[in-house]
Chain A
Amino acid sequence: MKKSEWSDRELEELLMQMPKIKDHRDPRDIYQNLSLNKRKTKTWLLPGLAAVAALLLFFILVPKMNDGTNFSFDTAQEEKSSGNSQAMKAAEKDSTIAMKDQASTPNKSVSETNDKKMELMSAASIKTAVYEDEVGDRTVLTYWIPDSQAQILVPVSIIVPAEKDKSWLTLFVDNMANLKEEEWGLSDYYPLKLSMNIDEKTNSVDVVVPDDHKYGQGSAEETSFIKTLNNDVSSNSTIKKLNFFTNNEKGIEFGNEGRVKNHDIIDVKKHAFFFHFPEGSNLPFLAPSIDAYSDIQSAFADMETNNPTYKLTSSLEHLQPLTDVTVNDKTLFVSFKSIIDMKDDQFTLASFEALLLTAKQFGLEKVVVKDSQLTHLGPFDLTKETKVPVAPNLRDIQ
């Protein structure tokens, strides 16, 4: 019946002859598959829920795991990034604190303070140390505070109103609790858990710690304890001796040195002042070196270098090289002629203050700058002689 022409009728007949195709499966199987299928429609639910839960767990756990394993790296990164912004804020805050204090100096004529304010406003950078002309009849207290790693002691000064009946020691003890060490980027060390009294007869201070004191635990603890007290007393008074008591008994029990009954004050002298940047701040503290120097020239030479072990950085980086450093009587003469591109900014000012403080360490009272490109550095008039500061690192405790 092969042919090229097909009529509708023929085609219809052919179509009707098409074989019957049958489903050979057992109806029972089909029915079973049906019920399976019915259930199947919901089988995605359980794995789906499990997947969602797993994803949730994944997102919760992964950041924690990262924190755990890459701890140092991650946090370092974080600290770095947040540190920068914090540093900016801290620097801002620090400068406003210092400004406030300097600007609000009492016992001065209004015009004088206004002048000072104007001066501060015109110069963007501010001095950080305490100078004689801004103290008036108030009391300057210097606290030696361990840095955040408890490696060095940083002297921090505050100015408090003088009170007639109170000795420097009473004021010192009273204000210990007001220090904001952590805000400043140092370790929380004060208030000390002890009482102190001046024994005027022997020109000494009696230090009384309670029975359960912890200053003798560990060699680091006891060294920093004695050193802190030594520096505190040395900076704030002319007292030459400390007498130690535990409750009513003489002496304090230290782990390494045993029972120490007294300590002769060693004055902090002939140290060089370096920059110490607390974490999260770009306004440096000026901190004295660990070692003393034989002369100011070698101190200045060392101040051009960094001491990363103690987190002390060069304080003359922005003010070097110093030339013609000479001492005449109690005046330091120094030439800035070799300093190229000297800027009137915060760091240069801090460098100059480090120079002044170091000069003070060597018993000098005035600094005369020669051949300076700039006539003014911050609030300082470089054409005139500059008095060394009363105390370093002025901070506000209000």
Chain B
Amino acid sequence: MDSVFEELYQKYHHDVFQFLFYMVRNKEHAEDLVQEVYIRVFKSYDRFEGKSSEKTWLFSIARNVAIDFFRKQKGWKEKLLEKFDWSTNQVKDEYPIPEEITVQKEEIKWIYKCLEFCTMDQRAVIILRYLQDLSIAETAKALGWTESKVKTTQHRSLKVLKKQMEMSYEKEAVTSEKVGVER
């Protein structure tokens, strides 16, 4: 094994994987994408200037990989298939929720579901800020943004999540009420 790979794996593999997983919400895709991250890293490792930390650099690459992944997904094939496959229209999130999340408490599951309604950028900020525990400055570097943009995006994403959480709460309340009536 390559020493560079070993080092990168040791230090950042799980963080990058986690980031990718929450971005694409599917383990298999995340596994493929993390490899793509490594390939890109190897290609441009010589050009790594050390301006930012290795970690933020890896996250910026991972984000680009995820963006490319979504672009490819929404290619002509996907569009064509969508036209014919009505089932995907009805059930928006076709990927299974991984075990790690299903065993958590209700609110975690909700928030995981609600994350889907955030945009790519909003999701990236949330993951980096809260799951990876990066500072505003680090997040700004990883995303190539200004700090104020990180702040506003963070604010907006929390707003979206709040709204979605309230909606899912209402839905939950209605279903549990119904169950109660039937009983």
A residues whose Cβ falls under 8 Å from a Cβ of B: 1-6, 8, 11-12, 14-23, 25, 27-28, 30-31, 33-34, 37-38
Contacts and interface: CB of A to CB of B under 8 A. Distances in A.
Contacts of A2: 106-107, 169, 172
A1 B112 CA distance: 16
Contact of A18 (B38, B130, B162, B173): B130
A34 B38 contact: yes
Interface stretch (B75-83, B87-95, B97-105): B97-105
B126 interface: yes
B69 interface: no
A18 B161 CA distance: 14
B34 A30 contact: yes
Closest 4 pairs between A and B when the two form their complex, measured CB to CB: A15-B130, A23-B17, A19-B100, A21-B21
Nearest to B170: A4
Q: Which of A1, A11, A12, A37 counts the most B-chain CB atoms under 10 A from its CB?
A: A11
A5 B166 contact: yes
A34 B42 CA distance: 10
Contacts of B30: 21, 23
Interface stretch (B2-10, B56-64, B143-151): B2-10
Contacts of B133: 16
Contacts of A37: 35-36, 39
Interface residues of B, number: 42
A132 B11 CA distance: 115
A12 B125 CA distance: 12
Interface of B: 1-2, 5-6, 9, 13-14, 17-18, 21-22, 27, 30-31, 34-36, 38-39, 42, 98, 100-101, 104, 106-108, 111-112, 126, 130-131, 133, 158, 161-162, 165-166, 169-170, 172-173
A102 B5 CA distance: 98
A3 B169 contact: yes
Contacts of B166: 4-6
A16 B21 contact: no
25 contacts: A2-B106, A2-B169, A4-B173, A8-B162, A14-B111, A15-B126, A15-B130, A16-B131, A17-B104, A18-B112, A19-B101, A20-B14, A21-B18, A21-B21, A21-B27, A21-B30, A21-B100, A23-B17, A27-B1, A27-B6, A28-B1, A30-B13, A31-B9, A33-B35, A34-B42
